Chains A and B, each alone.
Chain A
Amino acid sequence: MKRIITKRLSMLLFVLLGVTLLTFFLSHVIPGDPARMMVGQRASEETLQEVRHQLGLDQPVWVQYFTYLKGLLVGDFGTSIRTQQPVSHDLLTFFPATIELALLAFVIAIIIGIPLGILSAVKKDTGWDHAGRIFSIAGVSTPVFWSGLVGILIFYKFLDWLPSSGRLDLAIAPPARITGLYLVDSLFTGNWAAFKNSLWHLLLPAFTLAFAQLAIVTRQVRSSMLEVLGQDYIRTALANGINGPVLLFRYALRNALIPTITVVGLSFGSLLGGAVVTETIFSWPGMGKYVVDSIAYLDFPAIMGFTFVISIGYVLINLLVDIAYYMLDPQIKE
């Protein structure tokens, strides 16, 4: 176990080096000049060159790259050209909102998706199964910008149950920052007003995001459950009088979960990186909008910082998936 973790973590170094190399050179190859974005479209050549000099953009690309790497070693992601703030500061500002949203969506997708998948498998080819499958296909094939808007129309406009945008009402002060996740922070500080309010704000975007992910979980659980339920050891268990929840959860589900975990793990990664549309619709102040704005502005340091953090996220998720494998399946030994 330890060896896996050490090996994976040391590989992380190479992955990250590759990622910085790729993003850095890609973003410098595409035409466009952040200095130009900064000085305004009507600036003279002289001013433009001055700003390029101030930003260090007049140096050869490889010099810029090594300067960037040197900074990274001491945790300096550089300064965002657009916001004029250290990129690390911006990431810390926007990342928690995205993580909070993605986590809740992930939990919802699992809580609903796994039972739904089991139900579909157990009740194969019945009305339940069809309903479950239609539901999950609807989720996967409905674009988020549409389901999000339908959600807003119903729950904000017609029913008036839930707010349509932001993390908190303007009148409510955010809880003291510990993790940056409002739900967690308000719990820790006992700030119930903020907890309730941020939960209301989270529900609609989280369900919207979960709806799209849910289908993946449900379908995966269903097919691996069906596969497992058809295997010999289940028949043997049945013959030995084991049935009901024990058979389903202890014998079948545990095996069916192994392929599911890979899918779910990767889907969490895509939740983190792909919540852009959801964030736009619900005015959610997360990474998505920040990165899109940064890309439009050719804000290299911000784009690099984001890619860097997301890559770390993916590698760690993969590591967690492997550890989960190890725990679920005793056959996988070192």
Chain B
Amino acid sequence: MIRRKISLISSLFLAGCLLLTACSSNPASSPPETKPTNSAQPTSEPQKETASDTLVVGMTSDQGTLDPAVTMDNSAWKITYPAYQRLVEYDGESTELKPGLAKEWKVSDDGLEWTFTLAEGNKFADGTPVTADAVKFSFDRTLKIKKGPVDVYNVIKEIKVNSPTSVTFVLSKTFPPFLSTLAANYGGIVNPKVMEKEQNGDLGQNYLANNTMGSGPYQLSEWKKGEYLKLTVNPNSSVKPTFKEVYFRIIPDATAQRLQLEQGEIDIAEGIPAEQLNSVKELPNVQLLQKPSLLVDYVYVNTSKGNPALQNPKVRQALSYAIDYEALTASVQEGYATQMRGPIPKGLWGHDESALQYTYDAEKAKALLAEAGASNLSLNLLYSDNKAWWETEAITLQAFFADIGVKLNLNKVAYATSREMIDKGDFDLALGVWSPDFGDPYMFMNYWFDSNNFGLSGNRAFYKNEQVDNLVRQAATINDQAEREKLYQEAQKIVIEEAPYLYLYQKDYLLPINKNLKGLVYNPMLEGIYNLADMSK
């Protein structure tokens, strides 16, 4: 009798847990009164939609440091960019510049002195006015901290404050992209009062890693690590945005992001991979923002430290002809990509519409290999898990190269390891992506081809051609854009012909957003950064 009771109790347990975990085949049968009412949400439909003055962005991982003088992580820029202002800003969807904190500027004839006149009325979030001193302070600070961004600003010899609204940058050499670098995240002007937060001479690095002190329309008001970052309006900004609160929620899992976008719990979902986008696009409340980006996906061909056969341009051309570019973008990017035409992507000045574009021609590739005397070629392809699509890409390339008799061995390593190996030149071929930090072909031509930049810093093909060196270096010393364009185009002809890289494709920027979101402008220079102050819903 008692035993029966025990089994009854135990079976109740069993039934209970089965009920909790088993897949409910008939959800409609559940009694509505068991539904917990969530105190935070109004019970009226739709339950989960975000408020009209609140924007919620789903991103995949938390941020590291937010200090504009330290961070080189584009992902952090989506927080810092709206919190700071820069001397110049990118104009709408173009890579051209418009006035920012500076209402006008002029450059001396020798290209060494840039003088900026500041617009009046800009204030930091605490009400302090933005002055020429703050500008000098910010750049001096970056130069003293000597972390990532210093590489770009090493060219600054001195910053002179002429008056509270006028500041002059004296450069040590002509550097045409200088103006463009000022619009990047590290050009953000920081409130000099950050020095009150200094600890152990860190120039406020620790404080700014977790806080913002800028004059942009927003400021960081809360950061729950691992959960969300919350931006609120800078009360002293002249801009009055519609969104009073912007949440960046950390939702690592793609499926979770998708479900929350579908339910209206988030307005923007950053973490949905290309292969899921076609179905996400079909959701009734979702639209897919699709724009050509400046992010290129390409293969480094190690022209000096890899397999000796790769030193022969004919072998590199053969590899370029072996790829069916259309099939590659279709299989790897679901067609959301455009084949590159030379190193400078479409959308950036300097791109040459008439340049040679390799097309799939297996016969020609085999002939080139025969000419080069390279038979039974076996190459290693290095890649990492940094980009989800690289696995498919590597396998696709393997198949293409097998067709022309080249054996491709896949070598997948951890991201950090891959960077080390690329830096040392420890590979034959390697997959890579590149996007410009500032809107100037310098970002591609000088970084990729100048033989002073061997390794991770840019010339990852370890490619050296004196003529190309001369052309790109010359283009980096004159300020006349038309003349520079000519030099870059000349250099491009050579580097396309010699193929130290396999120019694969320019990726589309794809972002699933809620249909009722308005005013989002995509600027290819500011990928992943939102113009929050102009947006609404």
Q: Is the CB of A31 within 8 A of B417?
A: yes
Q: What 1/0 mask marks residues of chain B from 7 to 44 whose CB sits below 8 Å from any chain A CB?
A: 10111011011101101100100100011101111000
Q: Is the CB of A38 within 8 A of B456?
A: no
Given known contacts A123-B7, A132-B14, A290-B226, is B21 in contact with A47 (CB within 8 Å)?
A: no
Contacting residues, chain B, for A83 (C-beta < 8 A):
64-65, 209, 225
Q: Is the CB of B64 within 8 A of A84?
A: yes
Given known contacts A85-B210, A150-B23, A281-B253, is B148 in contact with A47 (CB within 8 Å)?
A: yes
Q: Is the CB of B206 within 8 A of A84?
A: yes
Q: Please count how many residues in chain A sit with their CB below 8 Å of the partner chain's CB atoms.
A: 85
**B61's contact among A160, A165, A167, A293, by CB below 8 Å, is which?**
A293
Q: Is the CB of B148 within 8 A of A36?
A: no
Q: Is the CB of A51 within 8 A of B27?
A: no
Answer yes or no: A286 CB below 8 A from chain B CBs. Answer: yes
Q: Is the CB of A43 within 8 A of B226?
A: no
Given known contacts A160-B35, A207-B21, is B417 in contact with A244 (CB within 8 Å)?
A: no
B267 to chain A, nearest CB (A): 13
Contacting residues, chain B, for A123 (C-beta < 8 A):
7
Q: What 1/0 mask marks residues of chain A from 139 to 163 whose CB sits below 8 Å from any chain B CB?
A: 1000000010111111011111101
Given known contacts A112-B13, A119-B13, is B27 in contact with A158 (CB within 8 Å)?
A: yes
Answer yes or no: B146 CB below 8 A from chain A CBs. Answer: yes
**A289's contact among B61, B249, B419, by CB below 8 Å, is which?**
B61
Q: Is the CB of B21 within 8 A of A211?
A: yes
Given known contacts A39-B72, A43-B457, A283-B252, is B20 in contact with A207 (CB within 8 Å)?
A: yes
- Among the stretches B256-264, B316-324, B342-350, B506-514, the one at the interface with A is B256-264
A contacts with B: majority SS:
helix
Q: What 1/0 mask marks residues of chain B from 236 to 252 whose CB sits below 8 Å from any chain A CB?
A: 00000000000101111
Contacting residues, chain B, for A74 (C-beta < 8 A):
none
Answer yes or no: B300 CB below 8 A from chain A CBs. Answer: no
Contacting residues, chain B, for A41 (C-beta < 8 A):
72, 419, 456-457
Q: Is the CB of A286 within 8 A of B226?
A: yes
A199 to chain B, nearest CB (A): 9
Q: Is the CB of A119 within 8 A of B259?
A: no
Residue of B2, B41, B225 with most chain A CB atoms under a 10 A cut-off: B225
| Minimum CB distance partner of B386 in chain A | A296
User: CA–CA, A37 to B481, complex, Å?
Assistant: 34
Given known contacts A84-B206, A85-B209, is B147 in contact with A289 (CB within 8 Å)?
A: no
Answer yes or no: A97 CB below 8 A from chain B CBs. Answer: yes
Contacting residues, chain B, for A297 (C-beta < 8 A):
64, 416
User: CA–CA, A209 to B415, complex, Å?
Assistant: 29
Q: Is the CB of A47 within 8 A of B151?
A: yes
Q: Is the CB of B447 within 8 A of A119?
A: no
**B147's contact among A38, A112, A147, A193, by CB below 8 Å, is which?**
A38
**B10's contact among A32, A116, A197, A207, by CB below 8 Å, is which?**
A116
User: CA–CA, A161 to B31, complex, Å?
Assistant: 12
B530 to chain A, nearest CB (A): 18
Answer yes or no: A90 CB below 8 A from chain B CBs. Answer: yes
Contacting residues, chain B, for A115 (C-beta < 8 A):
9-10, 13-14
Q: Is the CB of B40 within 8 A of A285?
A: no
Residue of B210, B251, B263, B447 with most chain A CB atoms under a 10 A cut-off: B251
Contacting residues, chain A, for B56 (C-beta < 8 A):
170
Answer yes or no: B6 CB below 8 A from chain A CBs. Answer: yes
Given known contacts A40-B72, A44-B151, A51-B147, is B14 in contact with A200 (CB within 8 Å)?
A: no
Give the interface of B toward A (CB within 8 A). 2-3, 6-7, 9-11, 13-14, 16-18, 20-21, 23-24, 27, 30, 34-36, 38-41, 47, 56, 61-62, 64-65, 67, 70, 72-73, 146-148, 150-151, 205-206, 209-210, 224-228, 247, 249-253, 255-256, 259-260, 262-263, 414-417, 419-421, 423, 437, 447, 456-458
Closest A-B pairs by Cβ, 3 of them: A285-B226, A40-B72, A32-B416
Could you list 15 A-B pairs, sorted by A, with CB under 8 Å? Answer: A32-B414, A38-B147, A42-B151, A42-B457, A43-B457, A94-B225, A119-B14, A135-B17, A149-B255, A154-B23, A158-B24, A163-B38, A164-B260, A172-B40, A289-B61
Besides the known contacts A84-B206, A116-B17, 18 further A-B residue pairs in the complex with CB atoms under 8 A apart: A37-B416, A44-B457, A47-B147, A50-B147, A54-B147, A85-B206, A94-B225, A112-B17, A116-B14, A128-B10, A156-B259, A159-B30, A161-B35, A166-B228, A169-B40, A244-B6, A283-B256, A296-B415
Give the interface of A toward B (CB within 8 A). 30-34, 36-45, 47, 50-51, 54, 82-85, 90, 93-94, 97, 112, 115-116, 118-119, 122-123, 128, 131-132, 135, 139, 147, 149-154, 156-161, 163-167, 169-172, 174, 193, 196-197, 200, 207, 211, 214, 243-245, 248, 280-283, 285-286, 289-290, 293, 296-298
